[in-house]
Amino acid sequence: MGLKAKSHIVELDFEVTDHGEYEFRFANYGRTEIRMLDRRLKAHKDYLGVAGSPDTQLVFDEFFLTASSRFHHMVKYGALVSNIGDTLVLTMNGVNMHLQNMEDFQIVDEVHVLNTYDFRTPERCCVIDIGMNVGFSTLYFADRDKVEQVHSFEPFEAPFNRAQENISLNPALADKIHTYNFGLSGATETKTVAYNENTTIGTSIHGNGGENLTTISVRRASDVLGGIIKIAKANGQAIVIKMDCEGSEFEIFDDLAASGLLSDVHIFMIEWHKWWSAEKTDETLIKHLQDYGFAVFNMTQRHDPFAGMIYASKTPAV
Give SS3 for 94: coil
pLDDT band (50, 70, 90) for residue 46: very low
d(CA 47, CA 184): 42
Q: What is the pLDDT of residues 162-208, one digit of tens each?
A: 999 999 999 999 999 999 999 999 999 999 999 888 888 888 888 88
CATH for 245: 3.40.50.150
pLDDT at 43: 44
**Residue 146 and residue 191 share a domain:** yes
**pLDDT, average across residues 51-74:** 79
**pLDDT, average across residues 196-225:** 90
**Residue 172 and residue 86 share a domain:** no
**Residue 226 and residue 300 share a domain:** yes
**Residue 81 and residue 123 share a domain:** no
**Residue 120 and residue 85 share a domain:** no
Inside any domain, residue 105: no
Residues 6+ apart with CB under 8 A from 235: 124, 126, 148
Q: Indicate the range of 12-26, 42-56, 110-124, 302-316 predicted with least confidence.
A: 42-56
d(CA 220, CA 248): 11
**Residue 125 and residue 65 share a domain:** no
Inside any domain, residue 11: yes
Q: What is the pLDDT of residues 116-171, one digit of tens each?
A: 999 999 999 999 999 999 999 999 999 999 999 999 999 999 999 999 999 999 99
pLDDT at 204: 87
pLDDT at 101 over 80: yes
Closest CA to 243 of 192, 304, 211, 289: 289
**Residue 141 and residue 47 share a domain:** no
**Residue 285 and residue 148 share a domain:** yes
**Residue 132 and residue 56 share a domain:** no
pTM to 2 decimals? Answer: 0.83
For residue 245, give its domain range. 115-313
pLDDT at 22 over 70: no
pLDDT at 8: 55
Task: Please give the tally of structural domains in the chain.
Answer: 2
DSSP 3-state percent helix, strand, coil across the chain (nearest 5): 25, 25, 50
pLDDT at 263: 95
**Residue 177 and residue 295 share a domain:** yes
**Residue 283 and residue 197 share a domain:** yes
Inside any domain, residue 59: yes
pLDDT at 199: 86
* 189 CB-side CA count, 13 A: 8
